[in-house]
Each structure stands twice: as structure tokens, then as C-alpha cells.
Amino acid sequence: MRIALVFSCLLWACAPKSHEAGVRHITYWEKWTGFEGASMDRLVARFNQRERERAGREANYRPIEVEKVAVSSLEQKLLIATAGGNPPDVAGNYSFFVPAYADKGALTDLGPLLAAAHIERENYIPHYFELGVYRGKVWALPVVPASVALHWNKQLFEDAGLDSNVAPRTIEELDAFAEKLTLWQVRLDSGDTVVERGYLPNVPDDRKRLIQVGFLPNEPRWWSYAWGYYFGGKLFADAAHVSPNDAGNLRAYDWVRSYSERLGVERIKRFRSGFGSSSSPQSSFLSGKVAMELQGVWLHNFIEQSAPGFRYGAAPFPYPADRPELANTSEAEADVLVIPKDSKHAHEAMEFIAFVSSPDNLEDLCLGQDKFTPLRTVSERFWREHPNPNIALFRELGSSPNAFAIPKTGIWNEYNRELTNAVDLIQNLSEPPMRALGDVAERMQAAVDRDRKTLLRRGEP
Amino acid sequence: MTGASARRVRGLLFCAPWLLGLSVFLLYPLAAALYYSLCDYSVLLPPVFIGAGNYRELFHDPLFWKSLYNTAYYALGSVSFGVLVSLMLALLLNARVAGLALYRTLFFLPSLMPVVAGSLLWMWMYNGESGIINTALRHLGLNGPAWLTDPAWAKPAIILMAVWGAGHTMVIFLAGLQDVPSSLYEASLIDGANFWQRLIHVTLPMLSPVIYFNVVMSLIGGFQVFTQAFIMTGPSGAPERSTLFYVLQLYDVGFQDLRMGYACAMAWLLFGLILGLTWLLTKGSQKWVHYER
């Protein structure tokens, strides 16, 4: 009797969570927590409410209920769950994971579902819609886009005698501004210390201590692979050939290297090791230690949270003076929604995605996350209510013909690691760009060829 | 059923849970990994048999050799320093001094700290600008390196952290020391042996089975180093791949690049390597390990 009771309890505990009869439950995994997650929570609640109300009105209608779960390291867990045959019905991922997952057969082709839900490609900013398209199929739908721009600290500009309302337009101007914005504490023969500006090449190393830098190419480190794009470089010459060592990339990384040469490798390392995370008041930019930084649309929110009242400006990242056609170059990625392969409720999942993607809901979501919408048309209310004074700039950069994204390739993670290591070698002055990027080209071409062989083996075109 | 066979069946039934666990969680994954190592396998699509292709590619992969070198460097450093330091600590903590229990607890405590928490703590200690280590070095008039961001210092820094957490090894040494018969020490004292002679001719031979055990266990753990590097220097083994350890590279290939067949080949090679090294140590131990008969 006692044993039977114990077994009953165990069975009850192990049984799947019981759901209300007649309700179609779908699970939604989302990478965001914090205010971004809260913004999506509100939409999920609104969707569930709409479904319950419809069920109240229509006797035979079975409402959909979305259960949202915040998942860390989502990209890996999604793979394992899909392989185990128990994936979520919807997942919120980054756009740059789409090609690798599509290549591995982890995603559902959204094409037919989008057509049935009347979601049209024409309604989106082309660059952002294309992020979810790979090998001719739509695998993901953009919901919250982002782009990046040069941010500058107005107070430090004024201290350096620069006009705090004018950003550098060219790389050459950026370099000149950076020199004026670099500060050192210099020890004199008398033992007293003074603060001086510039790179001070004639002051011995043991006499000077870096206290402020105008610009550091490796702060933040997130986009160390991308500098080539701002100089006209590309990571792929065409779909089958890599080009990390093309002329634009070599020029970019020579420029990156020049900062290590001017400031000193060890000195930069020590200086950087005192920085906190990008969202904290101790970050390189918010603490006033770096005067100009490439940062994303999200920085405004960090400032509101960590340093209210901080005076800053945002402008397109500069272009080389001899390449004015590269103006408005910006990396533009997006958060996307995908339906994993073997989702048990693909149609219900698409209903939820369609709900989120309606103009009003998408604007609410993007307002809540302090970003702009991926749609072509934006309401007056959106501009009026948006807290970020530079939001129009970020949208313009995301729509620019020079907006770029991580290359669509199944080997991106590998390529990114190779580039990160090469940039490490370049910034540490361990190897010149020509050699470091040449090695990357050799290894990644082999990886592309291997990937191609794998796809052919599986009968992919 | 005869009594003997009924006993055998009962015995097997009692063993069944363990046998089941061993088969499901160890033997099957081992065999599956061996098969997948011979396949092009990305987890979601059916594996395609490619023979020894993954192994051939591994031997031409510079990152495989780099990660193997880094791991061997770490294993050699952490095993030799770890065993030496914990043996020295055990000898000190075996002395009869006041507050012995407190000292033993203090030296053992770090090994109780989870690796992730320990790694975060050491990241702060290794901070080139404001870390406690460089601050202390500055007071001594020395300019400490940037530790975790300096390719020359990142591996030694992770080894030093491993030595800090060698409390378990120390406790095993301590137990071994207390097992050495006092009659041997008394006899050596009568013969006029000094401290070093007693250490070399009595303590170390009597402790040799424990040293052998600790070396083998530390070596197995050393070749599987992962968490510290993953937390402290990131999954790509920065700076300049100086902390790209074998299991980190295996993780990158398997879980970042979804090349599970290649990762399985790496896992089997590591298994073979650890097995080979353990066998070599065991063979060699016959010459220097002294068992009391």
C-alpha cells in the first residue's frame, strides 16, 4: 500500500504540467531578460488576453496560450532541444545565427506560413527582412532591429576645446580629435605631476600615465571583425571565397594597429582592465575614460539607467577622406523570431509571430526596448514617444545602402573566432595585418570548402 | 532453478540499476561517440559515414596541435606545482603546532569554492590595473604583468589558480602521512637520521602510493581543464589563443560550429591520450611506488 502511494506520488510529480482543456499551449524561448524581456512579456500577456476574449465570444474557438521562458545560451540549448525532438514552438534569437541553423536543418521554412498570415516582405526595411533570408528561403522574421554609430562625450570635447556639437566626419578627423582628447599624467623632474594632451612620443614611458583616451578601436570589443567594412573591405569576395585580407580590410587593420603603436600595447591593456561592463557607470565611455566610441542604439538606455544627465552625441561612424561613398556605414543586425524544426504547433506559433509583427505591437515592443522598428512605415506616435533623441539617426543608418551585417555563412562562428584572434595579434603588435589576415584567409577558405563539401554530401545545391 | 543460479539471478537483479546506469550513461555514449567520430554529424541531420576523415583532418589542424600543446603545458604545470605545493602544505600541517585545525581548514577552504566563483574572484585579483596581486607587487617596487590579457602570462596565471585550489590533494597527502608507522621514524631517529634523511628515506617511500594516486588523478583532471579558461579568458582561448585548451577547442567545434563528428574524434583522441598516460604512469610506478606488504 505504502509502495503504491510512493509510486503514485512519483508518477504525479513526473507527469507533464497539465494544461487547461481546449487551450492550445505554445512555448516561446527568449534570450532577453531585463527591460527587453519585460517589453516582450507585455505583448505575450496582450496576446493571451486577446485569445481568451475570442474564446469567450466564439463557442468552438480553442484559444492559444503562449508560455514565455527566458533561456540563457539559447542558441546551444535550442540545438539540443531540437535534436531531442522537443523544441519550443517559437524562439527569439539573433539574426546572425540563422544561416548556421538553417544549414543544419534546425529551422522551419517560414515562407508558406508568412504568406498565409499576410506578412509581406515589402512592408519591411529591405536590409532587415533579408537578415532572415538564406539560400532563397525565409527562416526568420525581424522584430527588433539595431544599428551602431559613433558616440562622443560632449563634456570631454568642450574640455579639449572642440565644438561639442560637431562629430568627426572622416577617419582622419577622428584621429585628429582622438589625439586632442588623449590625456596623460606626466611626472616632471621636480617630482610634481602635470596633465598634458596628445600622444607625447618624446616623454619617456616611466614618466607618463594614461588617464583618458580619445578613441580605442578595441573598446568595446564586440565588433573587432567588422572594421574592414568602414574602409570598404568585405569578409567574403563572393559566396565561395573569403577575403579578410582584401585592400579595405588591410587598410582598416593598419589603422587599428596604429592606435597600439601610438598608445603602447601594455599601457592599453592596463588602462582597459579598469573598465566595467558597457552598461555600468564604470564603462569606458560612461566613466569618461574614452571620449569617442562605436556603440549601438541601446547605449541610450544604459545612460538613462546608469548615468542620467550624461551629455553625449551620436553620428554616423567616420569614413576615410578619400572614400566619401562609404558615408553612413553601420553594422545593422536584428533580433528575430524563428520556428524550430519539428515545432508541434507551427501554425499557432505563426499566429503569435503575426500578432507581434503587427505595426502597433511592433512599435510598442521596440519602444519598450528603446530601439526602432524594422517596418518601412512608422507612426507619428512612435517618434513622439521615443525616449532616444537620436533614434531617427539609427533608423537611417539601418536603412542606408552601406548598412552591413555578418556574412550569411554556416561557418560564421569559426570565422569570427579566427578574426578575433587575428585582431588580437594585430593589436598586440605580435603580427602585421598582412600576415595575421593572410592566415585567416587561408584557414577560412579551407573551412568554406569543407562546408561546401558537407552540403554537397547532403545533396544541398 | 538451482540454488546457485537463483543466487546469480538475484545478484544480477541487485546489480541491475548500476548496470543499467553504466550502459545508458557511459557505454552507449562512448560507443555512439566512437561511431560519430567516423561521421560528418551535425546533431540535427543524420550522420554521414566518412571513415577516418575527421581524424585525418585533425592531424592537419593547427588548432588541434595548439590546444594540445596548451593543455600539456597546463597539465604539466598544474600537476607538478599542485602536487609539490600540496605535499609541502601537508608536511607543514602534519606538524604538532597550536591552532592546527584552523590552519588545515584555512588551506582546505579554497578547494570548496565552485570553479566559476573562484574564476571570477581570480579575474579581479589578476586585474592589471587594480588587481590585488599587481597592487602588492607595486608596493614591492615591481611592475606586474597584465596577467590574463598577456599571452606569456595567461597560462601560468591559470596554473597558479589551480595550485590555490589543491586542498583535496593536500588532505589525501595528510591522510597518507598519518598512516606512516611511527616505529619507522623512531628507528630512523635512533640511527641518527636528520629531518631531510627521514623525509627522503621514510616519508616519501611510505607516501609513494598516495603520490602516485594524486599524480594520476591530477593529470586526468589537468587534461580536461575547461571552466577556468572559459570564464576567465573566453571561449576562443584569448589572448592570442594562449589559453585555447583541448576541451575548450572541443566545445567550440562541437557546440559553436555544430561539427559534432569532429568533436567526437577529438574526444576519443583525448580519451586515448589520458588512457595511454595513465598506463605509462602505472607501468613506471612499479619502479618508485612502495607498497607495504
Q: Which of A201, A450, A223, A441 is CA-nearest to residue A317?
A: A223
The residues with which A215 forms a beta bridge, in sequence order, are: A292
Residue A29 has pLDDT above 90, yes or no: yes
What pLDDT does A5 receive? 54
CB contact under 8 A, B44 and A106: yes
Alpha carbon B229 to its chain centroid, in Å, reads: 14
Considering only CB atoms, A269 lies closest to which of B62, B146, B256, namely B146
What pLDDT does A19 receive? 56
Residue to substitute from A260, A424, A431, A460, interface B, most B β-carbons within 10 A: A424
Q: What is the pairing mode between strands A241-242 and A236-238?
A: antiparallel
Question: Which residues on chain B are in Cβ contact (under 8 Å) with A430?
Answer: 151, 240
b (16+ CB within 10 A) / e for B68-102: bebbbbbbebbbebbbebbbebbbebbeeeeeeee
Residue B103 has pLDDT above 70, yes or no: yes
Residue A345 has pLDDT above 60, yes or no: yes
Residue A20 has pLDDT above 70, yes or no: no
Q: Which residues contact A273 (CB under 8 A, 6 or more apart)?
A: B127, B128, B129, B130, B131, B146, B149
Residue B2 has pLDDT above 80, yes or no: no
Considering only CB atoms, B42 lies closest to which of A104, A266, A424, namely A104
Tens digits of per-residue pLDDT, A116-153? 999 999 999 999 999 999 999 999 999 999 999 999 99
Cα end-to-end span (Å), chain A:
63
What's the whole-number average pLDDT of chain A?
A: 92
Residue A16 has pLDDT above 80, yes or no: no
Measured CA to CA, the distance from residue A271 to residue B240 in angstroms comes to 19
Residue B278 has pLDDT above 90, yes or no: yes
Residue to substitute from B50, B126, B256, interface A, most A β-carbons within 10 A: B256
CB contact under 8 A, B128 and A270: yes
CB contact under 8 A, B256 and A413: yes
What pLDDT does B165 receive? 86
What pLDDT does B226 receive? 95
Confidence of residue A6 (pLDDT cuts 50, 70, 90): low
What chain A residue is nearest to B126 in terms of C-alpha separation?
Answer: A273
What chain A residue is nearest to B47 in terms of C-alpha separation?
Answer: A458
Residue A17 has pLDDT above 80, yes or no: no
Residue A236 has pLDDT above 60, yes or no: yes
Question: Which residues on chain A are in Cβ contact (under 8 Å) with B48?
Answer: 457-458
Confidence of residue A8 (pLDDT cuts 50, 70, 90): low
CA–CA min distance B55, chain A (Å): 14
Residue B144 has pLDDT above 60, yes or no: yes
Q: What is the mean pLDDT of residues B64-84?
A: 96
Measured CA to CA, the distance from residue B34 to residue B28 in angstroms comes to 10
| Burial classification of residue A72, based on how many CB atoms lie within 10 Å of its CB (0-12 exposed, 13-18 middle, 19 or more buried) | exposed
| Grid cell of A428 as nine digits | 598586440
Considering only CB atoms, A428 lies closest to which of B128, B130, B239, namely B239
Q: What is the mean pLDDT of residues A451-458?
A: 86
What pLDDT does A92 receive? 95
Residue to substitute from A213, A269, A342, A449, interface B, most B β-carbons within 10 A: A269
Residue A81 has pLDDT above 70, yes or no: yes
Q: What is the mean pLDDT of residues B256-267?
A: 94
Residue A9 has pLDDT above 60, yes or no: no
Confidence of residue A415 (pLDDT cuts 50, 70, 90): very high
Confidence of residue B293 (pLDDT cuts 50, 70, 90): low
What pLDDT does B26 receive? 93
What pLDDT does A351 receive? 96
Residue A3 has pLDDT above 80, yes or no: no
Tens digits of per-residue pLDDT, B114-135? 999 999 999 999 988 788 999 9
Question: Which residues on chain B are in Cβ contact (under 8 Å) with A457?
Answer: 40, 48
What pLDDT does A13 receive? 52
Tens digits of per-residue pLDDT, A270-305? 888 878 887 888 899 999 999 999 999 999 988 988
Residues of B near A (Cβ–Cβ under 8 Å) read: 40, 42-45, 48, 57, 62, 127-131, 146, 149-151, 235-236, 238-241, 252, 255-258
What pLDDT does B128 receive? 83
b (16+ CB within 10 A) / e for A332-371: bbbbbbbbbbbbebbebbbbbbbbbbeeebbbbbbbbbbb
Q: What is the mean pLDDT of residues B4-13?
A: 91
What pLDDT does A169 receive? 97
Question: Which residues on chain A are in Cβ contact (under 8 Å) with B241?
Answer: 421
Tens digits of per-residue pLDDT, A154-183? 999 999 999 999 999 999 999 999 999 999
Confidence of residue A337 (pLDDT cuts 50, 70, 90): very high
CB contact under 8 A, B257 and A413: yes
Torsional class of A234: left (φ above 0), alpha (ψ -120 to 50), beta (otherwise): beta
pTM for this structure?
A: 0.89
CA–CA min distance A426, chain B (Å): 10
What pLDDT does B290 receive? 84
What's the whole-number average pLDDT of chain B?
A: 92
Considering only CB atoms, B240 lies closest to which of A411, A425, A450, namely A425
Confidence of residue A327 (pLDDT cuts 50, 70, 90): very high
Confidence of residue B3 (pLDDT cuts 50, 70, 90): confident
| Grid cell of A408 as nine digits | 550569411
Measured from the Cβ of residue A105, the count of other Cβ atoms closer than 10 Å reads: 16
Confidence of residue A423 (pLDDT cuts 50, 70, 90): very high
What pLDDT does A404 receive? 97
Q: What is the mean pLDDT of residues A203-230?
A: 92
Residue B96 has pLDDT above 90, yes or no: no
User: What distances in angstroms separate CA B122 from CA A221, B79, B134, B159, B186, one per listed residue?
Assistant: 21, 19, 12, 12, 44
Residue to substitute from B44, B233, B242, B248, interface A, most A β-carbons within 10 A: B44
CB contact under 8 A, B45 and A104: yes
